[in-house]
Amino acid sequence: MKAVILAAGEGTRLEPLTAVRPKPMLPVANKPLLEYVVEAAAEAGIDEIVIVVGYKRERIQNHFGDGDDWGVDIEYVLQEKQLGTGHAILQVEDVVGDEFVVLNGDLIMGSESVERLVRRREATGNTVMSVIRSRQPSAYGVVELDGDTVVSVVEKPPEHTQPSNLINAGAYAFDRSIFDAIRETDSPGEQAITDTFSRIAGHGDIEGVRFEGQWLDVSHLWDLLSVNGRILDHMAAADHPSVSVHESAVVSDNCVVGPDTYVRANATVLPGVSLGANVEVGSNAVVSNSVVFADATIEPGAVVRDCIVGENATVGENATVSGGDTDIVVNGNHCENVRLGGVVGDNADLGGGVTVSPGTVIGNGTTVATGASVSGRIESNATVRRG
């Protein structure tokens, strides 16, 4: 059975980070989200993987190549326009066999869950949909089960109206009849696979298999921090190469440090921090609960908490991202009490002494002048002056 991994989408809720990379390539503990999915499929015994690519596909193909490094064969199928997950699945019609597994490429799930899916499919020959309990069901496809049969799927219903707290976990097993089922479904907008599920659920045609264990979804910018923290918590200390840490610096156990990264004298890297490759943490700087992408620089004395620092970005000397909880509006949705000190976009440059209020999102390539204070959303390639 081949595994088809859906990785063509952009992930607009994660802008500005997704302006230069597709969402599945966002790093968690210094590995792209998609790599966790490839590994889960490989560990579940699947050795042929089809990745559906589209938006910024070269980032994905350059990273995974033919899959050799993961002990699997990877082929790529192009979804030229991102017209929905059902449409993405239609693109693999010529490359899959009688039955296949489909996995969302942007969420982390354990290999045992993928194995379960495959085993159910082999045992019953049904269309199988993975479901998991959620505390926030209305943010997902909400699934109602009768025994093991899926009786309804409602995509992102208004809050507090959802019929259950089970959601579509983004992993399925199909046979080729799904292609006609997708084609025969009228979708209001994008051709989403959940539209097809909504249509055929209730005919007794879909079996729900409950996932337990690891299932981590990055929907919003702040999720990247919490998911990163969760993964680091479960990593063994031996996985943390701390090659270039100054003897007076402290790097906590549950952090990862990429190759060619330097942590200078008296700097403190507290729990929940991923430092990508070729990062510089200057002397006396403090970093906690943050994801720092490759080639970024945190200058001496800076304080960076609950923050995403983009590729090749600079946080100037003694600049402060104080961190903490905040309320943010994303695409018109009010999100309360989310932990996000700030986002510093790729190639952005914060001058010395800059202060960043909680929840600030600074666009890619933006320059913030020495001593300025910033808050809210700042567009890409802007120049922010002091005062």
The residues binding ligand G1P (CB under 6 A) are 104, 107, 140-141, 155, 167-168, 170, 192, 194, 217
| CB of 329 vs ligand G1P, minimal distance in Å | 18
CB 286: neighbour CB atoms within 10 A?
Answer: 18
Distance, CA of 372 to CA of 232 (rounded, Å): 33
CB of 35 or CB of 217, closer to ligand G1P: 217
CB of 55 or CB of 140, closer to ligand G1P: 140
| CB of 155 vs ligand G1P, minimal distance in Å | 6
Cα dihedral across residues 19, 23, 24, 25: positive or negative = positive
Distance, CA of 52 to CA of 40 (rounded, Å): 17
Cα dihedral across residues 353, 357, 363, 364: positive or negative = positive
State the Cα torsion 366-372-375-380 to the nearest 10°. Answer: -10
CB of 168 or CB of 355, closer to ligand G1P: 168
In terms of Cβ atoms closer than 10 Å to its own Cβ (0-12, 13-18, 19+), residue 94 is exposed
| CB of 134 vs ligand G1P, minimal distance in Å | 8
Q: Which of 306, 288, 289, 283 is nearest to 297 (CA)?
A: 283
8 A C-beta contact, residue 187 and residue 84: yes
Distance, CA of 58 to CA of 386 (rounded, Å): 39
8 A C-beta contact, residue 178 and residue 139: no
| CB of 214 vs ligand G1P, minimal distance in Å | 14
| CB of 104 vs ligand G1P, minimal distance in Å | 6
CB of 12 or CB of 177, closer to ligand G1P: 12
CB of 53 or CB of 348, closer to ligand G1P: 53
| CB of 236 vs ligand G1P, minimal distance in Å | 28
As beta bridge partners, residue 53 has: 7, 78
**Structure-token pair, residue 262:** 């330097």
| CB of 194 vs ligand G1P, minimal distance in Å | 5
CB of 141 or CB of 282, closer to ligand G1P: 141
Residue number with the smallest Cβ distance to ligand G1P: 141
CB of 107 or CB of 354, closer to ligand G1P: 107
